């Protein structure tokens, strides 16, 4: 049983669907708790913010858990001095984004703080590898939605965020269904 659980933890294919499912539950909970008390623009901004934060916090936490598991198994193929900082580099801004959700529900919330947090997270993802650009896009769309000034622009940004996140989830489910255990294995498939 323990070996099967460890195998699941180190399987890269499981983390995106788990992270996005957890984020969907979180935004459903936020919507149910606040929909009557908060105007729709603030609520949508907060939901987009929370979705990004939870998704990437779970991914960052999953990375750290996988590194620890491989280290304990003696199968870690790279330096812990590289792999642990990668996990924390994603986890820290993600947790701060989650904490920022409550501020977004208040009318006096500061747009620059949203920009800084999501910019930090998006830049971190891109610096960690161009393959992470799709994961950075929802952060940028959240900032765009937070700053938009026209109703049509807001609707377009929200629709685009739904499409991008839906595409990420579909890709994550395809990765999971493929049987590949690493992103490199998945990319090498015909």
Dump pLDDT digits (tens) for 105-144. Answer: 988 887 788 999 999 999 999 999 999 999 999 999 999 9
Dump pLDDT digits (tens) for 81-98. Answer: 999 999 999 999 999 999
Residues 154, 45 contacting (CB under 8 angstroms): no
| pTM score, whole prediction | 0.93
Residue with tokens 């993802």: 125
Domain boundaries, the chain: 2-182
Cβ contacts of 35-42, under 8 Å, gap ≥ 24:
38/105, 41/154, 42/104, 42/105, 42/106, 42/107, 42/109
């Amino acid at each position: 049983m323990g070996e099967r659980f460890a195998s699941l933890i180190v399987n890269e294919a499981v983390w995106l669907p788990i992270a996005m499912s957890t984020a969907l539950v979180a935004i459903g909970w936020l919507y149910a708790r606040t929909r009557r008390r908060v105007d729709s623009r603030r609520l949508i901004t907060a939901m987009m913010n929370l979705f990004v934060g939870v998704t990437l916090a779970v991914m960052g936490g999953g990375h750290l858990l996988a590194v620890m598991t491989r280290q304990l198994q003696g199968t870690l193929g790279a330096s812990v001095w590289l792999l642990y900082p990668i996990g924390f580099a994603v986890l820290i801004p993600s947790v701060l984004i989650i904490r920022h959700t409550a501020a977004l529900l208040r009318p006096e919330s500061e747009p620059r703080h949203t920009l800084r947090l999501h910019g930090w997270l998006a830049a971190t993802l891109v610096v960690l590898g161009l393959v992470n650009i799709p994961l950075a896009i929802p952060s940028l769309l959240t900032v765009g939605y937070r700053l938009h000034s026209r109703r049509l622009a807001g609707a377009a940004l929200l629709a685009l965020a739904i499409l991008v996140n839906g595409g990420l989830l579909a890709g994550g489910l395809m990765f999971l269904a493929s049987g590949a255990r690493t992103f490199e294995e998945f990319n090498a498939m015909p």
